[in-house]
Amino acid sequence: IRVSVDRVNVGVLVTDPSGKFAEGLQRNNFHIFDNGVEQPITDFLDVEEPAQALVLIEAGPAVYLLEGSHLRAAREFLGGLSPDDRVAVVKYADAPQGLVDFTANKQSAAAAFDELGFNLGFGSLNLSASLSKVLDWLNSVQGKKTIVLLSTGVDTSSTKQIQDLLNRLQTSDVRILAVSLTGDLRNPPPAGKKKSPSPKVAFTSQQFAEADMLLRQIAQTTGGQAYFPANSSELPAVFAHIAQMVRHEFSLAFVPPA
């Protein structure tokens, strides 16, 4: 198979030794090397350019047990974005369903969190298949694109669909920041404070391990990051950090020589 590529997008985060994000950098502060050979930078977007962030939320029976704690924490993410950053909200179980199209109105996105419905039956959780569909939707979106994935990582997609997604992510211009929602499922609070788990959403340690591995693969393949908070109390700090990452991304592009 011969593939022709006429543009390569490179998302970049720059921090100082203390981890503080750098701002104010210009095109001439960056150099791109492809196989050891420097390439001219053809496109450059600084941190002031609006980001496009799509929040993809698992809406299955396991996440229903969290009683919305992950969604309340996600407001930290919305509050940390720049006014011009645009947000879309999509839920998935067997397939993705758009709730809010890209908008700079963060209140509209927050309202979608409040109206999120859950699939409480024996339905599938097709994470990889849903992500592939969302990537199709994002093909027409310009600029810096990030998917913030709120998921247990459980995937009932076929093995081929999972591998096809990982292959596709290697050449995608979308970065994925994944937040695992299994912390409270692994370490449930005392009885009476949460909904009682049912056999439908019982996980084994092997399933947790497989789910964690998939979230890491999905995020790292795109140059993103996966987060594994131990419980819901750690979620606000995670979402606040994700908002900072989305806000401080530089986007570069070059034309490969071959």
DSSP 43-68: EEE-TTSPEEEEEEEE-SHHHHTTTT
pTM confidence score: 0.88
Map residue 225 onto helix, strand or coil. Answer: strand
What are the structure tokens assigned to 1, written together? 């198979």
pLDDT value of position 63: 84
pLDDT value of position 166: 94
End-to-end Cα separation, the chain, in angstroms: 15
pLDDT value of position 212: 94
Over residues 227-238, the mean pLDDT reads 92
pLDDT value of position 199: 44
Ramachandran region of residue 141, left (φ > 0), alpha (ψ -120 to 50) or beta?
A: beta
**Residue 121 pLDDT > 70, yes or no?**
no
208 vs 158: CA distance, rounded Å: 18
pLDDT value of position 47: 87
**Residue 239 pLDDT > 70, yes or no?**
yes
pLDDT digits (tens, 9 = 90+) for 3-23: 777 888 888 999 999 988 988
For the chain, what percent of residues have pLDDT higher than 70? 91
Among 39-43, 97-101, 203-207, 244-248, which stretch is predicted with the lowest mean pLDDT? 203-207
Over residues 185-208, the mean pLDDT reads 63
Over residues 174-198, the mean pLDDT reads 74
pLDDT value of position 186: 77
pLDDT value of position 203: 67
pLDDT band at residue 36 under the 50/70/90 scheme: very high
Angle (nearest 5°) at CA 152 between 189 and 235: 60
pLDDT value of position 222: 92
Mean pLDDT of the chain: 88
**Residue 255 pLDDT > 60, yes or no?**
yes
Over residues 152-157, the mean pLDDT reads 92
127 vs 162: CA distance, rounded Å: 8
pLDDT digits (tens, 9 = 90+) for 59-117: 988 888 788 889 989 998 999 999 999 999 999 999 999 999 999 999 999 999 988 88
